[in-house]
Structure 1
Amino acid sequence: PVLASEQYPQGLGPTVPALKALLPEQLIISKRTFSCCREPRFMTALTALQRHQIIICGIEAHVCVFQTAADLIARGYQVQAVVDAISARTAANKSIGLKRIQQIGGCLSSVESCIFELLETSAGPEFKSILTLIK
């Protein structure tokens, strides 16, 4: 399952069209709070999924991504931050955000690591499909 958020799209602009096209409209939750966890619609949707392991990505590693990760960890979720799917306006801010996530108990990972963890085996047809994407 996927949940997505947009930080104040009226002022900062909406999710980029290429990404938005991959997500059902109802899964994109607009917010003004930096942490997704402080947006009631997000927490309602997350709770309904009944998942305890969260893969997180996004922009502004040191602000929205970090604050969301911190709130999720405080609520007992296991958080995996996907380093190559997280950004910030500066390399220093990205580094600081990721270090802080790790310091509070989050796990750092890569897109490829996440993919293979989710697949668990090369035996299924999904493996061949994924190989064409990552080669």
Structure 2
Amino acid sequence: MLDRNKTALVIVDVQGKLATLMDDSHTLFHNLSVMTQGATALKLPIIWLEQLPDKLGSTIPQVADHLSGHTPIAKNCFSGCQSAEFMDALQSSGCENVLLVGIEAHICVYQTAMDLLDKGFHVEVITDAVSSRIANNKTVALNRMQQAGVALSCTEMVLFELQQVAEGESFKKILSLIK
């Protein structure tokens, strides 16, 4: 079971026009919004990555609007782990578990997940909050990550796993998000 005191949410590159080209982008955007708001309600550390924001644009409003008080980390590498600023933020969070959401599943999410595993983190990819332009690319990426030891979960499952009890303000918020 995940422990909310040891778990961080990492949002990978949900930016600009590229985000709108993702397979089933409507569902993706909804689940990204729910994950971001749910992580905030649970008081999880949130680390927010943007790939070449000067070229790809900024994070979509469905996510960015829920990240006040956070600043994106710009990167030019596919794996977030190749960014010293990202690794510093993750290590300073003290978290052992990383929830990954974002795009594209078979490039930046995949490479970040593999590097995090290599660094000893427990990694869970939230399958309904990641995507690729081509559905099969997402499927291949999820299969490869799972074979390597990445856990797969979904938005509702992981939020309730972290919540653990049906009470409190965070529970009320999560309940309102998934209804």
TM range (shorter): over 0.9
Query: Which residue pairs with 2:128 in the alignment?
Result: 84
Q: Give 1:133 shift.
A: 1.7
Unaligned runs of at least 5 residues, structure 1: none
Q: Which secondary structure state, in structure 1, belongs to the residue aligned with residue 46 of structure 2?
A: coil
Given the alignment of the two structures, is residue 114 of structure 1 paired with residue 158 of structure 2, yes or no? Answer: yes
Query: Which residue pairs with 2:175 in the alignment?
Result: 131
**What do residues 28-82 of structure 1 show as CA deviations (whole Å, max 9, x unaligned)?**
1011100000011100111101111000011110000000000000000000100
Q: Which moved more, 1:110-119 or 1:15-24?
A: 15-24
Structure scoring higher RCO (CA < 8 A, sep ≥ 6) equals 2
> Which runs of at least 4 in structure 1 moved beyond 4 Å after TM superposition?
none
Given the alignment of the two structures, is residue 40 of structure 1 paired with residue 84 of structure 2, yes or no? Answer: yes
Query: Which residue pairs with 1:55 in the alignment?
Result: 99
- C-alpha RMSD over aligned residues: 1.3
Given the alignment of the two structures, is residue 99 of structure 1 paired with residue 143 of structure 2, yes or no? Answer: yes
Q: Which moved more, 1:120-129 or 1:42-51?
A: 120-129
Distance 1:35 1:130 in 2: 30
- Structure 1 length normalisation: TM-score? 0.94
Unaligned runs of at least 5 residues, structure 2: 1-44
Percent identical residues: 43
